[in-house]
Amino acid sequence: MTAIGLIDCNNFYVSCERAFDPKLVGVPVVVASNNDGCAIARSNEAKALGVRMGDPIHLIRDRLDKHGVVVRSSNYTLYGDMQRRVVAAVEEFASEVEIYSIDESFLDLAPFADRDLTVHANGMRDQVRRWTTIPTCVGIGPTKTLAKVANAAAKKNPLFDGVADLRDPAIRAFVLDRFPVADVWGVGRATAAKLATLGVTTAGQLRDMQLKQARGLGTVVLERLVAELQGVAASVVEVVEPRRKGMAVTRSFGAPVSDLETLMGAVAQYAMRAGEKLRSHGLVAGQLTVFFHTNPHRRDLPQHHGSRRIALHPMTADSLELLAAARRGVEAAWRDGPAYTKAGIMLDDLVAEEQRPRTLFEGDVDRRARLMTALDEVNGRFGRFTAVPAAQGFAREWRMRAEAKSPAWTTRIAEVPVVSAR
């Protein structure tokens, strides 16, 4: 019998922060996005105060201060390492684990389906908690979409106490009839609005929609979604990582940038990072897009959105080639005057290094590849951007804000927590 599980960490970033700082337990905590811009994780206490996902911190500052909400800058090194530990704790409880996002994994539970899966899931949650302190919820169903619904029910409805198994048709119907259609995985704002005009407001009503009608209203994506709600699997638990199609390094600046040289400095660093990322995946890129733009929320200020796409011949993962292409793009798209607040590099047409098409006249590729390997080794060992090209220009006025970032508790020896006993 098919049984798909979804384990999801509760308020993951906040829980990671709490794992190493007990002062944060029991008080309202918010983790801010890069640049301390928006609220992207909230403790239950913060949710109860009305802090919503994506709220700009500066707009809710007063409320945060009034209620003593602790705001932490995001610390992705910590969260990434904690994810690894959560997955390790889960592995023995499933035959396959598909890491879906930094805080969620799909599980193939079929081999365990003859036992009580609620007991099984609770054993898994206990192990995650023992190994990482992170609280989780588990949803179980015959398809991924139903496992997602189950997970949300497990989290929201105290009746389930952290684990919901929707394989039983009666329980499933009970939950779907009370589940807002807008909260279904894959139903966003636009689709929810269209469904509302048809009077479809619950997941149960969407389940009962004709497949053809679903396709007409949305696309094949909505049709598959309806099938999954009916218990017919349209996707499976995927273990192998799919080949990446694109890759990006983009950042908002800590302060607006109006001069070309400073912007170049930022873009240069993103290009170096993009190259590093490509090489770590063993890929080369055929196309690079560089962009920079002003603050779109400030309609009162002059706006400019500069962007250039540059073909990379030959395809490459060489940081210096990416850097040169990015510079050309910025120069071509530059406009004097506006204050820019964000820039980025996007790479497309990604191909595995071994499958890179060879061209004539590509120079001494091996020598450059060795240089890049050396660069990665130095930076891997001594910290990112220890070795950089001399022309990079390392003025850092644009560097993003992170005013309340926790230490790299688990990944830097100088920052591991010290425990003393007497």
Partner DNA sequence: TCTGGGGTCCTAGGACCC
Q: Measured between alpha carbons, how far is 247 from 314 in angstroms, rounded to an integer?
A: 18
- Cβ at position 208, least distance to DNA in Å: 19
For DNA, the closer CB: 190 or 418: 190
Residue among 25, 48, 198, 221 that touches DNA (CB under 7 A) = 221
Residue among 146, 187, 206, 317 that touches DNA (CB under 7 A) = 187
Q: Is 341 in the site for DNA (CB under 7 A)?
A: yes
Q: Measured between alpha carbons, how far is 117 from 164 in angstroms, rounded to an integer?
A: 9
Q: Is 352 in the site for DNA (CB under 7 A)?
A: no
**Which residue in 311, 230, 267, 9 sits closest to 133, CA to CA?**
9
Query: Tokens 């240089």 belong to which residue?
Result: 371
Residue among 101, 210, 280, 386 that touches DNA (CB under 7 A) = 101
Q: Tell me which stretch binds DNA (CB under 7 A): 19-27, 77-85, 241-249, 380-388.
A: 241-249
3-class secondary structure per residue, 12-67:
HHHHHHHHHCHHHCCCCEEEECHHHCEEEEECHHHHHCCCCCCCEHHHHHHHHHHC
Tokens of 78: 């910590």
* Burial class of residue 59, CB neighbours in 10 A (0-12, 13-18, 19+): exposed
Residue among 84, 115, 178, 244 that touches DNA (CB under 7 A) = 244
Q: Is 54 in the site for DNA (CB under 7 A)?
A: yes
State the DSSP H helix or E strand holding residue 232, giving kind and residue range, or none if neither.
none
- Count of beta carbons in the 10 Å neighbourhood of residue 43: 26
For DNA, the closer CB: 20 or 340: 340
For DNA, the closer CB: 35 or 319: 35
Q: Is 17 in the site for DNA (CB under 7 A)?
A: no
Q: Is 248 in the site for DNA (CB under 7 A)?
A: yes
Residue among 22, 242, 337, 363 that touches DNA (CB under 7 A) = 242
State the DSSP H helix or E strand holding residue 194, giving kind and residue range, or none if neither.
helix 189-197
Q: Is 370 in the site for DNA (CB under 7 A)?
A: no
Q: Tell me which stretch binds DNA (CB under 7 A): 16-24, 100-108, 158-166, 257-265.
A: 100-108
Q: Is 249 in the site for DNA (CB under 7 A)?
A: yes
Straight-line distance from the first to the last Cα atom of the chain, in angstroms, rounded to the nearest whole number: 54
Tokens of 204: 């149960």
Tokens of 186: 């894959």
Residue among 49, 71, 226, 400 that touches DNA (CB under 7 A) = 400
Tokens of 250: 């983009």
Tell me which residues touch DNA (CB under 7 A). 33-35, 37-38, 40, 54, 56, 58-59, 61, 100-104, 148, 184-192, 219-221, 242, 244-252, 256, 277, 295, 297-298, 309, 341-342, 344, 400
